[in-house]
Amino acid sequence: MQKHFLVIHGPNLNLLGLREPEIYGSETLEQINQQLLNEALNLQIKLECKQTNTEGEIVNYIHEAFKNKINGLIINPAAYTHTSIAIRDALTAVKIPAIEVHLSNIHTREPFRHFSYTASVCLGQICGFGSYGYLLALQALNQSLNSKLV
Ligand code: DQA
């Protein structure tokens, strides 16, 4: 059966392209989503992309993903990575295999970005490769589900 993945982009990622391009690159979120949709087509995966600036909305997306029997999540919780026990708890509750993505290498930036509440409840974290990290996450999630490494 065809796999169905959901990509969740957190706060301020709607500003990609404009926002600190020296850190986050010059591509817009729409361009990144389009690349993901193209790759998903190649891999024969059904993919949806959502963005919100609100913490509770991310929690709701994760709950809906469970109801909609989504097979895998790619999530960039953005600043909520470093603060949100609620998003961590939602991921733990639904147990959907997830990969955390960051455009920047959060480990080489300010100390408050080094810790992630969510990474330890994900299959893995990909950071520091710009928008390419999302494509890596898509391939890794697909591969993990194929090899039942989840
Ligand atoms: C980010 C890194 C976070 O620390 C930051 O708050 C973001 C973007 C990234 O993709 O590099 O908003 O998640």
- Residue-wise pLDDT for 45-99, tens only, equals 999 999 999 999 999 999 999 999 999 999 999 999 999 999 999 999 999 999 9
Question: What pTM was estimated for this model as a whole?
Answer: 0.97
Question: How far apart are alpha carbons 140 and 94 in whole angstroms?
Answer: 20
For residue 11, the CA-to-ligand 1 centroid distance in Å is 9
State the pLDDT at residue 131: 98
Residues with active-site annotation = 24, 102
For residue 79, the CA-to-ligand 1 centroid distance in Å is 6
Which of 82, 102, 112 is the best mutation target for the ligand 1 pocket, counting ligand atoms within 8 Å of the beta carbon and taking the most?
102
Residue nearest to atom 6 of ligand 1 (CA): 79
State the pLDDT at residue 94: 98
Q: Is the CB of 103 under 6 A from ligand 1?
A: yes
Q: Is the CB of 84 under 6 A from ligand 1?
A: no
Residue 149, pLDDT above cutoff 70: no
